[in-house]
Amino acid sequence: MKRAFVTGITGQDGSYLTEFLLSKDYEVHGIIRRASTFNTGRIDHIYVDPHEPNARLFLHYGDLSDSEQTSNILYNIKPDEVYHLAAQSHVKVSFNMPEYTGNVTGLGTVRLLESIRRSGNETKFYQASSSEMFGRTASPQNEESAFSPTSPYAVAKVYAYWMAKNYRLGYGLFACNGILFNHESPRRGEIFVTRKITMAIASIIAKKQQYLYLGNLEPKRDWGFAPEYVEVMWKILQQETADDYVVGTGEQHSVREFVDQAFSYVGLKWDQYVRTDPKYFRPTETEDLVADSRKIKKTIGWAPKIRFSELVKIMVDADLRRAGLATIGEGDEFLRKQFPNRWWKTD
Ligand code: NAP
Ligand code: G4F
C-alpha cells in the first residue's frame, strides 16, 4: 500500500486529494493545525476512527512554521509521496501579513524539502505552485513564461518554486511543481471571490443579505474545477521523471463575467445587488491570467471536463442547496453526466 503525506489536508484541494488517494487505496497522513475550534469540516466525511482496523487516514498536529514536528512526522511515516498544499493562500491577506506569508508559504516549503533530503528516503514531492507567480507577464502563460509576481503571496510562491527545483537539480529529489491556475468548487474557501459571490446569491435569495460588496471586477482569470486538478497533482508524481507543469482550462473570464453569469443563472440582475468596497482592492493586481497547458495535455492527455459556465452553475447550485433553497440544478445534472462514478462524495 502506498503512503502519502498531505499538508493542507483541511483545505479545498487537500480534502479532494485525500478523497482521491483513499479511492486509490493509499494510506494518507495529514497535518492539521491546533485550533480552539474544529477545522476538519472538509474531511469529516472520510475520517474513520484510527483505532478501526480499516482506518487509512491519519491526522497529526503540525504547523509549517515548526520544522521539528513535520520532520518527525516525515521520519516516522516514511511516505512514498508528499503533496505540499499548505500555505497562507489568500493573496489579499498576504498584503496584510507579508512576513507571516513568507514564513509559511515560502520557508514552509524549504522546511519540508530539507526534512526529506535529510531523511535519505526516496520520497516524491509535489509543490503547489501558482499562476499568481506570473503576475504581470502577458498571457497565455506556460512553463517558459517569466515570473513577475505582484503580491507577497506570489513572491513567496516563486521562492518555493525555485527551492523545489533547486532540490531536484542539486540533490536529485523527485520534486515537481504544478503551476495551477485558479480552481474552484463548492468547497472553496468563503473569502475567495467565486465562493463569496455564490454564497451571497443564496443569502440574497433567502433575504438574509441585501448587497454584495466586492473589489476590482476587471481582473481576468482561468477558472477550473478543483477535483479535476487534484487528479493532475497525483498524475504529475506518477511520471517517470520529475518536471514542472502548467495546469488550466485555457478559457479566460473576468470577475465581472463570473458575477454576471452567477446572478443571471438565478434570474437576478447583478448590478442591483453588487456594490464596490475599496477595501477589497489590492495594492498591486494580477490582471490577466490564462493557461497554455499544452505540455500537461501532451504528457498525460489531460483535458478538463468542467468549463466556466458549468463551474458557475455547480457552485451556485451547491450554495442554494446548503441554504435549503433548491435540490438539483443544471450544474448538478451536468456533474452527474460527466462523472457518473465520481470518487468525491459531498460538496
Ligand atoms: P486553502 O483552501 O486555503 O487551504 C490551505 C491549507 O493550508 C489549509 O489546510 C490550511 O489549514 C493549511 N495551512 C495554512 N497555514 C498553515 C500553517 N501555518 N501550517 C499548516 N497548515 C497550514 O487552499 P487551496 O485552495 O486548497 O490551495 C491549496 C494549495 O494550492 C495552496 O498552497 C495554494 O496556495 C495553492 N494554489 C491554489 C490554487 C487555487 O486556485 N485553489 C491555485 C494555485 C495554487 P487550516 O484549514 O487550518 O486553515
Ligand atoms: O478569488 P481570489 O481571491 O483569487 P486569486 O487572487 O486569483 O488567488 C487564488 O488563485 C491563485 C491562482 O492564480 C492561487 F494561487 C491563490 O492561492 C488563490 O487560490 O481573487 C480573484 C480576483 C482578484 O483579481 C481579486 O482582486 O477577484 C478579485 N476580487 C474582486 N473583488 C476579489 C474581490 N477577490 C476577493 N477575494 N474578494 C473580493 O471581494
80-138 pLDDT tens trace: 999 999 999 999 999 999 999 999 999 999 999 999 999 999 999 999 999 999 999 99
Q: Is the CB of 86 under 6 A from ligand 1?
A: yes
Active site residue 213: no
Whether the CB-CB separation of 144 and 295 falls below 8 Å is answered with no
Would you say domain 3-184+225-247 falls under CATH 3.40.50.720?
A: yes
- Segments of the chain assigned to CATH 3.90.25.10: 193-221+251-289+308-338
The Cα 344–Cα 19 span in angstroms is: 6
Write the CA distances from 346 to 184, 186, 268, integer angstroms.
15, 9, 27
153-184 pLDDT tens trace: 999 999 999 999 999 999 999 999 999 999 99
269-278 pLDDT tens trace: 999 999 999 9
Q: Which of these is catalytic: 27, 81, 132, 310?
A: 132
Active site residue 153: yes
- Segments of the chain assigned to CATH 3.40.50.720: 3-184+225-247
Place of cell 509559511: 104
Distance 304 CA to ligand 1 centre (A): 22
The Cα 17–Cα 83 span in angstroms is: 9
Distance 85 CA to ligand 1 centre (A): 6
Q: Which atom of ligand 1 is nearest to the CA of 12?
A: 26
Active site residue 130: yes
What are the φ/ψ torsions at residue 158 (nearest 5 degrees)? -65, -45
Q: Which residues line ligand 2 (CB under 6 A)?
A: 89, 91-92, 130-132, 181-182, 191-193, 196, 214-216, 219, 221, 255, 280, 282, 285, 289
pLDDT given at position 75: 93
The Cα 281–Cα 290 span in angstroms is: 21
Q: Is the CB of 183 under 6 A from ligand 1?
A: yes
Q: pTM for the whole thing?
A: 0.98
* DSSP E strands, 181-262: 183-184, 212-214, 220-221, 224-225, 244-247, 253-254
Return the bridge partners of 60, or none. Answer: 31
Would you say domain 193-221+251-289+308-338 falls under CATH 3.30.450.20?
A: no
Cis omega (within 30 of 0) on the bond before 53?
no
Q: Which of 12, 134, 221 to mutate to test the pocket of ligand 2 (most atoms within 8 A of CB)?
A: 221
Nearest ligand to the CA atom of 11: 1
The Cα 134–Cα 145 span in angstroms is: 7
The Cα 340–Cα 337 span in angstroms is: 6
pLDDT given at position 327: 75
Write the CA distances from 201 to 42, 174, 180, 214, integer angstroms.
22, 44, 27, 13
